[in-house]
Amino acid sequence: MKKFLLTASAATIALAGAVGTAAARDQIRVVGSSTVFPFTTAVAERLGQSGEFPTPVVESTGTGGGMKLFCAGVGESHPDFTNASRAIKDSELEDCKANGVTPVEIKVGFDGIVISNSKAADQIDLTKEQIFAALAKNVEVDGKVVANPYTNWSDIDESLPNTKIEVLGPPPTSGTRDAFVELVMEEACPEAIEAADGCTEIREDGAYVEAGENDNLIVQKLEANADAFGIFGFSFLDQNADKLQGSTIGGVAPTFDAIAAGDYGVSRSLFIYAKKEHVGAIKGMEEFIKEYTTDAAWGPEGYLADKGLIPLPDDARAQQAEDAQALKGMGS
Amino acid sequence: MTDTLAGGATPQNSQHTNDEARARLRKRYAAESRFKWLGAGAVLLSAFFLLLLLSTIVFKAFPAFHANQLTLPLNLSAENVDPDNLTGSNYDTIVNDALLSLFPQVEGRQERRQVRGLVSSGAPTLVRQALQNGSLQPGGTVDHAVPMDDFSDLYLKGLLAADSTETTVETLQNVAIDGAEATLSFSDDSLLQTARAAGAVEEDAGALRLTTGASSIIAYLGDGAVKLTAVEPGDTGVVARGSILSPVVAEAGGPVRLRVIATPEGQRKISDREIVWVDQLEADGRTASAWNTQFLFGGASREAEMAGIWGAVVGSALTMLVTLALSFPIGVSAAIYLEEFAPKNRLTGFIEVNINNLAAVPSIVFGLLGLAVFLNWFNLPRSAPLVGGMVLALMTLPTIIIASRAALRAVPPSIREAALGVGASKIQTVFHHVLPLAMPGILTGTIIGMAQALGETAPLLMIGMVAFIVDIPGGFTSPATVLPVQIFMWADFPEPAFQQKTSAAILILLGFLVLMNAVAVVLRKRFERRW
């Protein structure tokens, strides 16, 4: 018994000793958006496979959380890159500058947000106005703002199926939800509701189901319920094309080509930001940027396209690659 | 006790003389038997759900434990590989050349790309590692097995394109080949029905076109394969046109095997051409299903076929070690002091209430505390098992203290009195007599706490352990992740193969838990004493 306790306390003391010697960092650290996470991890892995550098550690903190960590300062305890599913905000840029951080912006591609349902049901054609009418908390009926009265899709438009409105989507904490609200809800918002400041409010009467951040779960639920629709990123539709179909929005189907060409109305740009001050101090940062911006990675035939990233047009890609490799910092 | 009541107190020979009393008695017995049945039902129901849960997980996880490998003839001669500089060679080219040598007919960029897609993108790295650790010797052309791509692997496991049917047509009359196109003439028209059933589009004069939305029809002639694109009535039967997927010999005779794959090509992650290739490789004996060592002993990866659990297992083990090393001695010491030595006053009462409350605090709060104190104040590294272990130790401490105090309290006072009576000091009494007797209870509490800590994800979120980390952690301060976090991340990846990995990782986590429990049971048995 005595021995047991002695060993345990010895281990504790040994641990306490280890605390003082936190090793210096030889590994790139990336934080930020969960949407960009799958792409950045793929690039990180390739860099690691080259055998010259340890594989970068990529953390999924969400765009906002990532920006906060990224802009907090310069030094080993701060990350070198952040993923973002939207452009950096002015307030965040100011925060960065105040802490001596110069971000280098790299637009890496697009992500389409799709509304899809099970293959067992028909594919439907929606407009942004119809989506707004189906999902907004308050809608305009005969010039008056009322709580959303629609229960079936056919209440909104007779061409739509006569089934209950049931949409599974991301919760308010999600970047996908923010993008969806910005690209669909705010765009299709009638003036009367805009005046009442209700464009971003999604109904809470059960027609919209917050299905958590796990998109695979939404996919499974859609398979089980042919009447339901789900909102998620294009890559999940792409990987589950045998079970699901994307609804067309404004007549355009969410396909790889339509999103890449900018025809599909609900797509957003994805970014990574590099910390200029760390280049040179942390080994492998330039190589990481280079790996990310080669056509073998982010090109139309690259491995990131296989993971669901929709590439930028050729000239934009060339320009981004050039700016990134020249480390063109923002506001410097 | 209930049995004697139920058996002995029958209404005839009891003192319950009037009908009302007998009715009351019957009611009591009825209530008792209802309760028994309900209780048994509850146990059965939970057993059923547990079984359902476990069997779904095991069933889903099963395919992840074995993987298909492709044996490639790698050219490792001196011109490709320099034995003195193994890292300098271009292994991508070596693997690609080996693959293309298996498909001499393949031309064109798009097709070459598809061929490359048959094996894992991690294959070049694995070849390099095999050369470096000596399991593969350079020089000449050597056969070496590399993992297949996740979709080829799923196809071979029968999980993609499982909805295919086969028929045989005996009436092939003629085969004409024009470049990549082939025209097949049949003397009967049964193929028209097959094409119609596959969802072909009807055009003028009864011609059927198989568009991208229709099921795939592949015609096998000997070794060759043709994907049919159009079927139309001909002079004596039907004429089918199609593109050649695998070289067809023009004079091929004999029966034609028709394979209808119900899911249209555009909607599955493996194309008709790849299916034909993979089938060919399987027929050549180049593919083999083996234990998925990559899954068991590899680090994390974005490629489903390369993703392994070992990094998370090591991370969990390191984190648990830190948690145990901190929470067990501190928790037990605190319990001994509070139970045996501390005066019973307002202060100790206050501490006691707080410990009980801490046990019920949501775990994420400990994560936030860890972020504020360990990372921001002490400047400890992010994503490290050390910090993870410290946070989890904070979470586990109240559980251990409460359980240890209960165990100490359960030791009969006579033991203490006897020890004190023969002249032992207070500390000798506790450490020589009370603590060993309380140990089984203390260990039970510790195991409950550790099991809870093993399954935690939320507190680790705040301190950066929810991260993509490929390298196996080498120590307490190197970046690491843990098993539940790995499960959490895999559950969120879109590639279908990761869903099996998720279930398999759950099984590994359960195994880890059982192992931990087994150690505790052995220890408990050693300390246990009965009166």
Complex ipTM, two decimals? 0.80
- Selected residues 289-348 of chain B with any CB under 8 Å from a CB in chain A: 301-303, 321-322, 324-326, 328-330, 332
Residue A21's pLDDT is what?
Answer: 40
- Selected residues 34-63 of chain B with any CB under 8 Å from a CB in chain A: none
pLDDT digits over B311-336, tens only?
Answer: 999 999 999 999 999 999 999 999 99
Examine the pLDDT at A18 and tell me if it is beyond 60.
Answer: no
Q: Which residue has the higher pLDDT, A289 or A19?
A: A289
Task: Count the alpha carbons within 13 Å of B92 in the hemisphere toward its beta carbon.
Answer: 8
Residue B372's pLDDT is what?
Answer: 92
Q: Between β-strands B66-75 and B287-291, what pairing exists: parallel, antiparallel or unpaired?
A: antiparallel
Kindly report the nearest CA distance between residue A253 and chain B, in angstroms: 14
Instruction: Summarize the confidence of residues B220-232 as an average pLDDT.
Output: 86
Kindly report the nearest CA distance between residue B466 and chain A, in angstroms: 6
What's the sign of the alpha-carbon dihedral B519, B521, B526, B528? positive
pLDDT digits over A34-62, tens only?
Answer: 889 989 999 999 998 887 889 999 998 88
Q: Which residues contact B454 (CB under 8 A, 6 or more apart)?
A: B316, B320, B482, B483, B484, B509, B512, B513, B516
Kindly report the nearest CA distance between residue A9 and chain B, in angstroms: 7
Instruction: Summarize the confidence of residues B342-361 as an average pLDDT.
Output: 91
Examine the pLDDT at A3 and tell me if it is beyond 60.
Answer: no
β-partners of residue B120 are none
Q: Is B479 near chain A, with CB under 8 Å?
A: yes
Q: Which residue in chain A has the smallest CA separation from B470?
A: A55
Task: Inspect the interface and report whether the beta carbons of A77 and B439 lie closer than 8 Å.
Answer: no
Residue A199's pLDDT is what?
Answer: 84
A264 closest CA partner among A256, A275, A272: A256
Percent of chain B whose predicted confidence (pLDDT) is above 70: 96
Task: Inspect the interface and report whether the beta carbons of A60 and B121 lie closer than 8 Å.
Answer: no
Residue in B269, B301, B330 closest to A45 by CB = B301
What's the sign of the alpha-carbon dihedral B446, B367, A175, A29? negative
Q: Which residue has the higher pLDDT, B482 or B222?
A: B482
Kindly report the nearest CA distance between residue A238 and chain B, in angstroms: 9
Give the confidence band of A101 by pLDDT, cuts at 50, 70, 90. Answer: very high
Examine the pLDDT at B184 and tell me if it is beyond 90.
Answer: no
Instruction: Summarize the confidence of residues A173-195 as an average pLDDT.
Output: 84
- First-to-last C-alpha distance (Å) of chain B: 24
Residue in B266, B468, B491 closest to A58 by CB = B468
Query: How many beta carbons lie within 10 A of that of residue B358, not counting itself?
Result: 17
Give the confidence band of A141 by pLDDT, cuts at 50, 70, 90. Answer: confident
A51: chain B residues, CB-CB within 8 Å: 87, 125, 128
> Across chain B, what does the average pLDDT equal?
88
Examine the pLDDT at A198 and tell me if it is beyond 70.
Answer: yes
Instruction: Summarize the confidence of residues B395-413 as an average pLDDT.
Output: 94
Residues A167 and A150 sit within 8 Å (Cβ to Cβ) = no
A33 closest CA partner among A58, A2, A5, A3: A58
β-partners of residue B228 are B242
Task: Inspect the interface and report whether the beta carbons of B478 and A23 lie closer than 8 Å.
Answer: yes
Residue B113's pLDDT is what?
Answer: 82
Examine the pLDDT at B32 and tell me if it is beyond 60.
Answer: yes
Q: Provide the number of CB pairs (under 8 Å) joining chain A to chain B.
A: 121
Task: Inspect the interface and report whether the beta carbons of A241 and B268 lie closer than 8 Å.
Answer: yes
Contacts 24+ apart (CB under 8 A), B408-411: B408/B335, B408/B336, B408/B339, B408/B340, B408/B434, B408/B435, B408/B438, B408/B441, B408/B442, B409/B339, B410/B438, B410/B441, B411/B437, B411/B438
A49: chain B residues, CB-CB within 8 Å: 122, 124-125
Interface test with B, best of A216, A219, A310 (most B CBs within 10 A): A216
Residue in B330, B382, B492 closest to A214 by CB = B492
Kindly report the nearest CA distance between residue B527 and chain A, in angstroms: 9
Kindly report the nearest CA distance between residue B58 and chain A, in angstroms: 19
Placement of tokens 């001994």 in the chain: B336
Residue B6's pLDDT is what?
Answer: 47
Residue in B113, B122, B302 closest to A38 by CB = B302
Give the confidence band of A20 by pLDDT, cuts at 50, 70, 90. Answer: very low
Instruction: Summarize the confidence of residues B74-91 as an average pLDDT.
Output: 83
Kindly report the nearest CA distance between residue B145 and chain A, in angstroms: 19
CA dist A246 → A26, A121, A231, A232, B488 (Å): 44, 11, 10, 10, 26
Residue in A1, A18, A37 closest to B436 by CB = A1
Residue B446 token pair:
């510790």
Residue B253's pLDDT is what?
Answer: 67
Percent of chain A whose predicted confidence (pLDDT) is above 70: 92
pLDDT digits over B230-256, tens only?
Answer: 888 887 788 888 888 888 876 666 788
- Selected residues 393-432 of chain B with any CB under 8 Å from a CB in chain A: 431
Examine the pLDDT at B10 and tell me if it is beyond 60.
Answer: no
B289 closest CA partner among B184, B422, B156: B156
Exposure letters A238-267 (e unless 16+ CB within 10 A, then b): bbbbbbbbbbbbeebbbbbebbbeeebbbb
* CA B18 from centroid of its chain's CA atoms: 66
Task: Inspect the interface and report whether the beta carbons of B325 and A22 lie closer than 8 Å.
Answer: no
Q: Which residue in chain B has the smallest CA separation from A50?
A: B125
Examine the pLDDT at A15 and tell me if it is beyond 70.
Answer: no
Task: Inspect the interface and report whether the beta carbons of A301 and B383 lie closer than 8 Å.
Answer: no
Least confident of B55-64, B253-262, B380-389: B253-262
CA angle, residues B253, B254, B256, in degrees to nearest 5: 100
Q: Is B435 near chain A, with CB under 8 Å?
A: yes
Query: How many beta carbons lie within 10 A of that of residue B280, not counting itself?
Result: 17
Interface test with A, best of B378, B492, B498, B522 (most A CBs within 10 A): B492
**Phi, psi (degrees; rounded to nearest 5) at B183:** -120, 125
pTM for the full predicted model = 0.84
A28 closest CA partner among A70, A8, A58, A6: A58
Most confident of A241-245, A326-330, B25-29, B201-205: B25-29
Task: Inspect the interface and report whether the beta carbons of A57 and B383 lie closer than 8 Å.
Answer: yes
Q: Which residue in chain B has the smallest CA separation from A15?
A: B322
Instruction: Summarize the confidence of residues B486-513 as an average pLDDT.
Output: 91
Examine the pLDDT at B1 and tell me if it is beyond 50.
Answer: no
Examine the pLDDT at A288 and tell me if it is beyond 50.
Answer: yes
Residue A146's pLDDT is what?
Answer: 87
Residue B434's pLDDT is what?
Answer: 93
B122: chain A residues, CB-CB within 8 Å: 49
Kindly report the nearest CA distance between residue B106 and chain A, in angstroms: 18
CB-count exposure of residue B190 (10 Å: 0-12, 13-18, 19+): middle
Residue A12's pLDDT is what?
Answer: 52
Task: Inspect the interface and report whether the beta carbons of A49 and B124 lie closer than 8 Å.
Answer: yes
Residue A10's pLDDT is what?
Answer: 56
Q: Which residue in chain B has the smallest CA separation from A59?
A: B467
Examine the pLDDT at A213 and tell me if it is beyond 80.
Answer: no
Least confident of A158-172, B203-217, B329-343: B203-217
Interface test with B, best of A31, A33, A55 (most B CBs within 10 A): A55
Residue A17's pLDDT is what?
Answer: 46
A32: chain B residues, CB-CB within 8 Å: none
Exposure letters B389-409 (e unless 16+ CB within 10 A, then b): bbbbbbbbbbbbbbbbbbbbe
Kindly report the nearest CA distance between residue A242 and chain B, in angstroms: 5
Task: Inspect the interface and report whether the beta carbons of A22 and B121 lie closer than 8 Å.
Answer: no
- Selected residues 113-172 of chain B with any CB under 8 Å from a CB in chain A: 113, 121-122, 124-125, 128
Give the confidence band of B160 by pLDDT, cuts at 50, 70, 90. Answer: confident
Examine the pLDDT at B421 and tell me if it is beyond 90.
Answer: yes
Kindly report the nearest CA distance between residue A150 and chain B, in angstroms: 32
Task: Inspect the interface and report whether the beta carbons of A1 and B383 lie closer than 8 Å.
Answer: no
